[in-house]
Amino acid sequence: MTLEYSVKLPPLENGDRLTRDEFERRYAALPHLKKAELIEGVVFMGSPVGIEHSRSHGSIMGWLWFYSAATPGLGCYDNPTVRLDGDNEPQPDAVLRLERGGNSRISEDGYIEGAPELVVEIAASSAAYDLHDKLKVYRRNGVQEYLVWCTYDRQIYWFSLEAGEYQPLTADAEGMIRSRQFPGLWLAPAALLTHDLGRVLQVLQQGIATPEHQAFVARQQR
């Protein structure tokens, strides 16, 4: 008579220190869990999503979707798991990536691997780990642009990777911030903070109408 023993998989707990493989095993065993991340080998579990986070997330996705609809060759993703390295597997609120010639790829099992060109996070305040631990991880892994919307502080931080360091992108005299990675991806931060989506899309349409965006589209279609 052969006795068979099964080892029960431990639950995924906030603060666990795991390898990426073990993190994925435990995460996959909890289908009801909507968000968990591995940052520098430490598990961070998502809190319940409040209405302000949800609304801000929707506004960001609308802005990115509109741009990607006008720009062939891009992938626009909502809340994707991103395999960055052996200790880091974040699940950012939004991602915009080049589908050809970029720094990331889609794995055989359907995940983003490598550094997308633009990552967006919705945070409560500047004290959140999105502007500290996560920022360092994204910078080290070569994420070219990183945008953090702090809903409680009513601040938008947009960084561009320059010579290995994140430099802030600031609004110009017209109140616009312009992406360096994606020509024509313009943002009116004051309008976004008040969810004035009409103004947000108006500014974005101005960016999409520029010769720089048209040239970018032409390059993407080659």
Mean per-residue pLDDT, 11-39: 90
Mean per-residue pLDDT, 64-83: 96
Domain residue spans in the chain? 50-220
Nearest to 174 by CA among 202, 139, 215: 202
Res. 43: pLDDT tops 70: yes
Mean per-residue pLDDT, 27-39: 89
Q: Which pLDDT belongs to residue 127?
A: 75
Q: Which pLDDT belongs to residue 3?
A: 44
pLDDT digits (tens, 9 = 90+) for 142-160: 999 999 999 999 999 999 9
CA 13/CA 10 separation, integer angstroms: 9
CA 111/CA 97 separation, integer angstroms: 13
Superfamily name and number for 50-220 = tt1808, chain A (3.90.1570.10)
Mean per-residue pLDDT, 13-21: 92
C-alpha angle with apex 222: 158 to 213, nearest 5 degrees? Answer: 35
Q: How many CB atoms lie within 10 A of CB 55?
A: 13
pLDDT digits (tens, 9 = 90+) for 175-222: 999 999 999 999 999 999 999 999 999 999 999 999 999 999 999 888
Res. 166: pLDDT tops 90: yes
48 Cβ neighbours under 8 A, 6+ residues apart = none
